[in-house]
Amino acid sequence: MKSFTYLLVTVLISISACAQQEESSVKAEIPQNVNYTTEVVISDMTIPWGMTFLPDGSMLITEKSGELIHYKNNVKTLIEGVPEIYVRGQGGLLDIIVHPNYSENGWIYISYASSDGQGDGGNTAIIRCKLDNNTLIDKHIVYKASPNSKKGQHFGSRIAFDNDGYLYFSVGDRGNRDENPQDITRDGGKVYRLNDDGTIPSDNPFVNEANAKTAIYSYGHRNVQGMIKHPETGEIWTHEHGPQGGDEINIIQKSKNYGWPKISYGINYNGTSFTDHTALPGMEQPLFYWVPSIAPSGFTIISSDKYPQWKGNLLVGSLKFQYLERLVLEGNKVIKREKLFEGIGRVRSVRQDPDGYIYVGVENVGIVKIVPKL
């Protein structure tokens, strides 16, 4: 648990961020930074939820409403063959990532809300597919969470690969915090691990547990909307939404319980408490948490030489306060926070491309590139 002094500093910084909320919500020109500027490279997008980069330098971007866009040579092309998307609340066409060996196998992985399967409504699905002449082909669902629900919140759905080629993804608690996150026989509130073809790794932690969802790798999560492989350690790092306060950063470990909703640094949206505990035996403490919430979405760990002042830092998007947050680490401890590009808009996704440039998906703006000043 953080020291009182460090917690006080964190709270004071967060209070300062709250004071900026009204100003930041005003539509404004994207502000600049001393060492870095911004450039809108793809405009006229509504909710650019996810993006990935192809070997030829082009990009694939998901619009939550259901459009998949291929951006190449300053031209946006709509991709055909996208699966049927269940668009409701936070659900829609969500994250996208290419296989680490994409140049050899051509596999693309997409998360989305799907109405396939048991019950009315929808739940999170992961599809594997290939791109051929602006059409998705060889489509195969590698995981579909169940049952469906008409609730519109907490689909999770970020995707990452580790150094061993395992596929990780998140499914949020789907608004059912009292049943899903702590029960390994149920989907929701989990981080999952699969082989790249959708089969279950033989060393997944719950493969021998009766009635368990054997794809589960860790549990006790609320709604993970940031996931990245650490470029040096190979660990899978996530951040997730808390309720009113208690957004978290975690390092995902096999079979670990991250506590939601038994432990939390947040409270209900109406100001009441749902738990008296911020720690319990057998439950992991976050690497870092925000009080009040910044509503984090999008996540990268900077490994690029193009941003020397930021190398090794974390970048997290804030939906609520409309900025990028830079977190400076000393070991696995956050020692400094900085707000970047205040007023940029609701940040939905953050990615570093293979060439080392950082791109930010901003709602009602598009894809913004962070450009080092010469």
Q: What are phi and psi of 82, to 5 degrees?
A: -65, 135
Rounded Cα distance between 90 and 174, Å, is 10
Report the catalytic residues: 154
Rounded Cα distance between 222 and 260, Å, is 6
Q: What are phi and psi of 151, to 5 degrees?
A: -65, 145
Q: Which residue has the tokens 């149920």?
A: 186
Rounded Cα distance between 59 and 61, Å, is 6
Pick from 223, 147, 217, 148: which is nearest to 189 by CA?
Answer: 223
CB environment 256-280: b (16+ within 10 A), e (fewer): bbbbbbbbbbbbeeeeeeebeebee
Give the burial class of 24: count Cβ atoms within 10 A of its Cβ; 0-12 exposed, 13-18 middle, 19 or more buried: buried
Pick from 27, 47, 109: which is nearest to 348 by CA?
Answer: 47
